[in-house]
């Protein structure tokens, strides 16, 4: 009887430890990767760049980051992804962001996804 209890405790302990090990190695089904949440999955190996610009929120509520905002050769980037929605209250501020340029529609327009915002 004592041998059976020890065996049962050993089996239960090994099952518990095995399940803890498996759950610690598990990765979640969702990815916090901003590229995946924007629909631009083919840019996984894209280069992260740093851009300083003035945040402007358009009349339709779309946030844009304007590089060279004081110049005639302004470059406006539409911000896609969740961080773009979160920084709308910073309208009019100068921001330095790490981002990925998703598209460059012309020399003066493009789309970016922001990875991080520096103060």
Which residues are registered as beta bridge partners of 52?
A: 96
Q: pTM here?
A: 0.64
Mean pLDDT of 16-35: 51
Q: For residue range 38-80, what is the model confidence (pLDDT) as tens digits?
A: 555 555 667 899 999 999 999 999 999 999 999 999 999 999 9
Phi, psi torsion values for 104, nearest 5 degrees: -125, 90
Mean pLDDT of 91-113: 93
Please give the CATH superfamily to which domain 36-118 belongs: NigD-like N-terminal OB domain (2.40.50.500)
Indicate the domain borders of the chain.
Answer: 36-118
pLDDT at 76: 96
């Amino acid at each position: 009887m004592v041998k059976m209890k020890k065996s049962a405790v050993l089996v239960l302990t090994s099952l518990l430890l095995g399940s803890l090990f498996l759950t610690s190695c598990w990765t979640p089904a969702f990815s916090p990767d901003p590229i995946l949440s924007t629909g631009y999955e083919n840019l996984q190996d894209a280069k992260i760049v740093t851009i300083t610009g003035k945040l402007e929120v358009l009349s339709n509520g779309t946030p844009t980051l304007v590089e060279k905002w004081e110049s005639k050769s302004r470059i406006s980037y539409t911000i896609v992804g969740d961080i773009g929605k979160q920084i709308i209250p910073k309208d009019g501020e100068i921001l330095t962001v790490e981002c990925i340029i998703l598209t460059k529609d012309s020399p003066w327009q493009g789309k970016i996804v922001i990875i991080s915002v520096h103060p």
